[in-house]
Structure 1
Amino acid sequence: MKRMNREEDDGTTVDVAVVGHDGRQDSVSSSTGDKDDSQKVAKQSPKKKWRKRSDVWNHFTELRVGANGVKRCECKYCGKQYNCGGENETKNTKRHLARCVRANTKEIAQALIDANDGSLRNPKISQENFREILSFALIKHDLPFSFVEYEGIRDVFKYLNPNVKNITRNTAKMDILKLHGIEAQKVKVMLHECPGRICLTSDLWTCIAIDGYMSITTHFIDKEWNLQKRIINFSYLPPAHLGVAFSENIFKLLCSRGIKKKVFSIVLDNASANNMACTFLKSHLILRNALVCNGEFFHIHCCAHILNLIVQEELKLVDSSVVKIRECLKYVKGSQVRKQRFLNCVSQPMLSSKMALKQDVPTR
């Protein structure tokens, strides 16, 4: 299509005739230079739509004009409607946006998401803190090192944070040994800062695998006058458990902890090997002038062990009765039917049946 302009003699401007591809004239329009006609065209042209520049309209939706001709808008969060016409069309909407509960809640949630890099479920974690907490859990609940390799546990860790790095049992072992070294150093500093003397308690025992172990516990009053109790040794003791070997292990431990001149007493049971060990250890400390009153109060016999020996000796007089009672308990607890019959017998004389039958431990 082509457009052509032509000016007449009287000053009238004629607009172009539009011609199609086949040479046929489609339309012809003309305009005059008269001032009245140009004002008439300007009045008939549509007005340009005004662009809403306020940020309020990001949170409100403009509704259709009602029958009364008043413009209204609706909150995107709570659905409340307001008039939005006139000069102060955003006054009500701004006031509502400042106190809208749902709008503010969404902003807080968005701030939390932004603070966690766009994910509330997967915040950033410290691998060192994760391994330290895991080590404490293994120690506190007496879990095996292979716990960290359980497939279900690893799935839980991955669900909580996909960025977590799983560790092996060997790594868990090294972390616990590292943690043990840190805690041992803390105890060493605490013992060194202790203003008074330290009392020791030691014992030898054999596990179910017939391996011997030695434990040493310290009791002391710290600089703030609080009674403290700390285990400073729990180690494997190879056979034979003679007094000389026992005394040498204790003396080496006291030297490594730096408390050989701060020992007041040691509590041991009445085994003959312990008496010999205490004699050797006492002689070592006296040579270094490390004991009070030349070691007169150094060796203390365990009162609980003495009491236990007395009770065991007296129980031999009623041993046959104790054996019968134990066998009766085993018989009753051997079947659920027997347990029910026993409870029926207990309920007949109006006795309390809340407590269950308990077998004692013969070694205790």
Structure 2
Amino acid sequence: MLPTKDEEKPTCKCKNCGKEYIAAGAYGTGNLKCHLDVCPRKDTRDVGQLMLGQNATFVSSPKFDPAKFRELLCATIRMHELPFWCVEYVGIRAIFSYLCVDVPNISRNTTKNDMVKMYKREKERMKSVLTFAPSKVCLTSDLWTSIAIDGYMCVTAHFINANWVLQKKVLNFCYIPPPHNGVSLFENVYKLLSIWGIENKIFCVTLDNASSNDVFVDMVRTKLINKKALVCNGEFFHLRCCAHSLNLVVQDGLKEIDVVVQKFRESIKYVRGSQGRKNSFYEFVKQMDLDGKKGLRQDVPTRWNSTF
């Protein structure tokens, strides 16, 4: 309430609806409190303001900043793996214009360019982190073929930063054209190391037991030994993936009971072939008083723990 001066008796006026009340000491303040509870314009904020008011951390400045808006939009698309054309959705644009009339309409091509700029900026930042990291860098890499018979390679860096915190960063995930031999892998990986500027900071490389990886490792080791960039002359440079070695051992063991495993796979495939079979199966499960919460799951032949 905003007090106002009156020639006869002091009054006050509601700053929301403008209604006046006598504010003399003899009248008390009860009528003023009752009016606050029933004022028709007690809360005139729109829905957008209420949403922002629930989390004031989003309102960093009363003035709209287009550059900051586009940066946050790109971060959201990256975080939630949204398609670029989500910025052209009619509903999304309606929400943006409702919250702020100054929001520009951004096309998917503009968003793509902004994402490329963000990638280049983050890449330069990561190169700086790797350059000034006090530790050596360990690499893990894997190569596999997709359903479309396309080869892909992923290279991940593991290192300890200046705060002694173990870091894991994906340096590259890209399409690798054939042939997928050791020479081709060496050319692609060493080029990648040169781009990131860490060819002289490598400690070891962890790979699976493919024969092409042995050729690739020997070529990289020879290259780095000539540059005197390896610890202990490369004695600990090549590490074989423990999980892959264990999988090979277990797969050999499963071959001894492959007939039983095959029967299980075909049985599960048959039951899951139609809804009627699944209903009949679960009816038998109830009759036998068994636990059917986990359901039937098809295993992955190349992952022994799913078969187990």
Q: TM-score range by the shorter chain?
A: 0.7 to 0.9
Instruction: Give the secondary-structure state (helix, strand or coil) at the position aligned to 1:175.
Output: helix
- Distance in 1, matches of 2:68 and 2:26, equals 50
- Distance in 2, matches of 1:237 and 1:261, equals 24
The alignment-based identity, stated in percent, is: 45
Q: 2:185 aligns with which of 230, 233, 246?
A: 246
Q: Report whether the alignment pairs 1:206 with 2:116.
A: no
- Quote the residue 1:6 is aligned against: none
C-alpha displacement at 1:56, in angstroms? 5.5
Q: 2:176 aligns with which of 224, 237, 244?
A: 237
Q: Report whether the alignment pairs 1:352 with 2:306.
A: no
Let me know the Cα RMSD of the aligned residues: 3.4
C-alpha change, 1:59 and 1:246, in structure 2 (3 Å) is: same
- Quote the residue 1:171 is aligned against: 110
- Quote the residue 2:282 is aligned against: 343
- Distance in 2, matches of 1:203 and 1:326, equals 28
Q: 2:244 aligns with which of 291, 294, 305?
A: 305
Q: Is 1:248–1:281's contact at 8 Å kept on the other side of the alignment?
A: no
C-alpha change, 1:334 and 1:268, in structure 2 (3 Å) is: same
Q: Report whether the alignment pairs 1:180 with 2:119.
A: yes
Write the mapping of 1:114-193 to structure 2, written as runs, cut at 5 A. 124-193=63-132
Instruction: Give the secondary-structure state (helix, strand or coil) at the position aligned to 1:200.
Output: strand
C-alpha displacement at 1:124, in angstroms? 4.7
C-alpha displacement at 1:140, in angstroms? 2.3
- Distance in 2, matches of 1:185 and 1:92, equals 73
- Distance in 2, matches of 1:56 and 1:238, equals 87
- Quote the residue 2:256 is aligned against: 317
The one-letter amino acid of 2:64's match is I
Instruction: Give the secondary-structure state (helix, strand or coil) at the position aligned to 1:172.
Output: helix
- Quote the residue 2:13 is aligned against: 59
Q: 2:195 aligns with which of 236, 256, 259?
A: 256
- Quote the residue 1:196 is aligned against: 135
Q: 1:273 aligns with which of 212, 228, 239?
A: 212
- Quote the residue 2:306 is aligned against: none
- Distance in 2, matches of 1:222 and 1:216, equals 19
C-alpha displacement at 1:350, in angstroms? 2.0
Instruction: Give the secondary-structure state (helix, strand or coil) at the position aligned to 2:96.
Output: helix
- Distance in 1, matches of 2:64 and 2:36, equals 30
- Distance in 1, matches of 2:175 and 2:183, equals 16
Deviations 1:190-241 (A, max 9, x none): 2122112111111112223332222111111122211111111122222222
- Larger proportion of helix: 2
C-alpha displacement at 1:55, in angstroms? 11
Instruction: In structure 2, list runs of 5 or more residues that go unmatched.
Output: 54-58, 304-308
- Distance in 2, matches of 1:55 and 1:283, equals 98
- Distance in 2, matches of 1:53 and 1:103, equals 25
C-alpha change, 1:148 and 1:56, in structure 2 (3 Å) is: farther
- Quote the residue 1:19 is aligned against: none
C-alpha change, 1:317 and 1:100, in structure 2 (3 Å) is: same
Instruction: Give the secondary-structure state (helix, strand or coil) at the position aligned to 2:152.
Output: strand
Alignment size in residue pairs: 283
Instruction: In structure 1, list runs of 5 or more residues that go unmatched.
Output: 1-50, 61-74, 85-89
The one-letter amino acid of 1:322's match is V
The one-letter amino acid of 1:250's match is V
- Distance in 2, matches of 1:210 and 1:267, equals 24
Q: Is 1:270–1:305's contact at 8 Å kept on the other side of the alignment?
A: yes
- Distance in 1, matches of 2:208 and 2:120, equals 30
C-alpha displacement at 1:273, in angstroms? 1.3
Instruction: Give the secondary-structure state (helix, strand or coil) at the position aligned to 2:203.
Output: strand
Q: 2:222 aligns with which of 261, 283, 289?
A: 283
Deviations 1:13-38 (A, max 9, x none): xxxxxxxxxxxxxxxxxxxxxxxxxx
C-alpha change, 1:252 and 1:109, in structure 2 (3 Å) is: same
Q: 125-134 or 197-206: which moved more?
A: 125-134
- Distance in 2, matches of 1:92 and 1:193, equals 75
C-alpha displacement at 1:303, in angstroms? 1.2
Instruction: Give the secondary-structure state (helix, strand or coil) at the position aligned to 2:123.
Output: helix
- Distance in 1, matches of 2:292 and 2:118, equals 48
